[in-house]
């Protein structure tokens, strides 16, 4: 997801103009950057024209486009941190546009590399993991050293936010959560002057930051960042707002907050309707079917792991219904004591005929750890640990309660 003004297209279309059109020429004149044969601006313009030439080729050699974007980024940052430049905020939109082009070019280069490998014999396909997502890694390695150049000066925090957001995005694309988590230390809002950042780049940054918190299951922080990004994104940017919601809705579902149906319909997100229904009813079979049908779109948005774990909420709801039924049946000797076999029977009926009490014990242990339910043994009448839950349940009844 990238937030730019209307008209921005892919690297082979109107995006070619994005970098230079984002730089006001009156600012260049005021800064004296249009003068002098060896000015940084002249070098920037030369490299940009070179980029245009590479993009105009048929077919486009995306690997060369990536390398040219990296060269252009080096010059752009040198211009941005030039001490003779009194005001540099007007350069931020151009930097954001350049990063967007670079991201799309790296994606295209990696895909074209994969297609080439498909035509090779199995013996010729490189086994080194370094060749996977090669150009996305090159872009990340080009961006990271630039963070130190713009971090210390508040006047240049606009570029810092753009580059930091792009770094988090690349780590998420690569699945490198360890490196992505390292960037959280750099995201202290007390040390960042957001007033120096245009709205577009900061919406992108807080979206990627919220997505990172989601991946780490820090849902309160994720919700705060994603809500900010959504509320500050103009309504005209419908697709961008939808991308933000694709992360915000799973986060809130994990917190037990259900979105209104009208919102899902407005942003064409009906794939959550069956999932939400399963959460409310405890229908495990319905949840599994919904995940199977909508797996692809969840993978595209990087929310598949977060949504899959909603199944534990479905389990919790089912177990709550089983407890209520057990009390109504007249079989309960005490109000809160339910045999584990009752829960196993419900799951066996809904999902798998081979489901047994041991699997129920595993699910229960996870529900305890996640804080969705509480168990206690009949003898001690005190909360048990996740390890203790794996005792021989065939000889035990369980004191059962559900946290609301």
Domains of the chain by residue range: 14-216, 319-402
Instruction: Write down the pLDDT at residue 3.
Output: 57
Q: What is the pLDDT of residues 156-198, one digit of tens each?
A: 788 888 998 999 998 888 888 888 888 877 776 556 777 777 8
Asked if the model's pLDDT at residue 79 lies above 80, the reply is yes
Q: Which of 263, 253, 207 is nearest to 230 (CA)?
A: 207
Q: Which two tokens stand for residue 137?
A: 């890694």
Q: What is the pLDDT of residues 323-345, one digit of tens each?
A: 888 888 877 677 677 788 888 88
Place 386 in a pLDDT band, splitting at 50, 70 and 90. very low
The pTM of the full predicted model, rounded to 2 decimals, is 0.76
Place 252 in a pLDDT band, splitting at 50, 70 and 90. very high
- Asked whether 85 and 79 are in contact (CB, 8 A), the reply is yes
Place 16 in a pLDDT band, splitting at 50, 70 and 90. very low
Least confident among 86-95, 165-174, 321-330, 377-386:
377-386
Instruction: Write down the pLDDT at residue 392.
Output: 34
Q: How far apart are CA 394 and CA 404, in angstroms?
A: 28
Q: Across residues 360-383, what is the average pLDDT?
A: 68
Q: Across residues 32-54, what is the average pLDDT?
A: 73
- Asked whether 63 and 57 are in contact (CB, 8 A), the reply is no
Instruction: Write down the pLDDT at residue 299.
Output: 94
**C-alpha dist (Å) from residue 251 to 58, 162, 235, 308:** 43, 24, 21, 12
Instruction: Write down the pLDDT at residue 174.
Output: 87
What is the CATH number assigned to the segment(s) 14-216? 1.25.40
Q: What is the pLDDT of residues 256-296, one digit of tens each?
A: 899 999 999 999 999 999 999 999 999 999 999 999 999 99
Instruction: Write down the pLDDT at residue 403.
Output: 40
């Amino acid at each position: 997801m990238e937030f730019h003004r209307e008209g921005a297209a892919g690297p082979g279309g109107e995006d070619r103009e994005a970098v230079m059109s984002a730089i006001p020429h009156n600012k260049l004149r005021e800064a004296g950057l249009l003068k002098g044969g060896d000015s940084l601006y002249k070098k920037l313009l030369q490299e940009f024209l070179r980029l245009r030439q590479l993009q105009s080729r048929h077919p486009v050699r995306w690997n060369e486009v990536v390398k040219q974007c990296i060269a252009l980024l080096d010059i752009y940052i040198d211009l941005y941190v030039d001490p003779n430049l009194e005001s540099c905020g007007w350069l931020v939109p151009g930097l954001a546009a350049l990063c967007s082009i670079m991201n799309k070019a790296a994606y295209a280069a990696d895909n074209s590399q994969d297609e080439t490998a498909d035509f090779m014999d199995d013996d010729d396909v490189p086994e080194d993991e370094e060749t996977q997502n090669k150009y996305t890694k090159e872009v990340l390695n080009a961006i990271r050293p630039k963070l130190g150049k713009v971090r210390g000066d508040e006047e240049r925090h606009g570029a810092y936010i753009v580059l930091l957001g792009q770094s988090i995005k690349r780590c998420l694309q690569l699945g490198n959560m360890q490196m992505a988590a390292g960037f959280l230390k750099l995201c202290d809002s007390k040390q960042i002057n957001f007033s120096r950042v245009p709205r577009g780049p900061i919406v992108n940054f807080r979206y990627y930051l919220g997505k990172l918190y989601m991946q780490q299951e820090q849902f309160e922080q994720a919700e705060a960042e994603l809500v900010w990004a959504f509320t500050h994104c103009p309504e005209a940017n419908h697709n961008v707002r939808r991308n933000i919601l694709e992360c915000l809705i799973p986060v809130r579902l994990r917190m037990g907050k259900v979105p209104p149906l009208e919102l899902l319909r407005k942003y064409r997100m009906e794939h959550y309707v069956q999932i939400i229904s399963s959460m409310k009813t405890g229908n495990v079979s319905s949840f599994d079917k919904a995940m199977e049908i909508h797996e692809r779109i969840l993978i595209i948005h990087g929310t598949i792991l977060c949504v899959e774990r909603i199944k534990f909420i479905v389990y919790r709801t089912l177990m709550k219904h089983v407890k209520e039924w057990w009390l109504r049946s007249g079989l309960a000797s005490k109000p809160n004591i339910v045999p584990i076999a009752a829960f196993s029977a419900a799951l066996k009926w809904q999902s798998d005929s081979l489901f047994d009490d041991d699997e129920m014990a595993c699910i229960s242990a996870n529900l305890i750890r996640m804080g969705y339910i509480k168990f206690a043994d009949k003898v001690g009448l005190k909360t048990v640990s996740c390890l203790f839950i794996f005792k021989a349940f065939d000889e035990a009844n369980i004191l059962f309660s559900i946290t609301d």
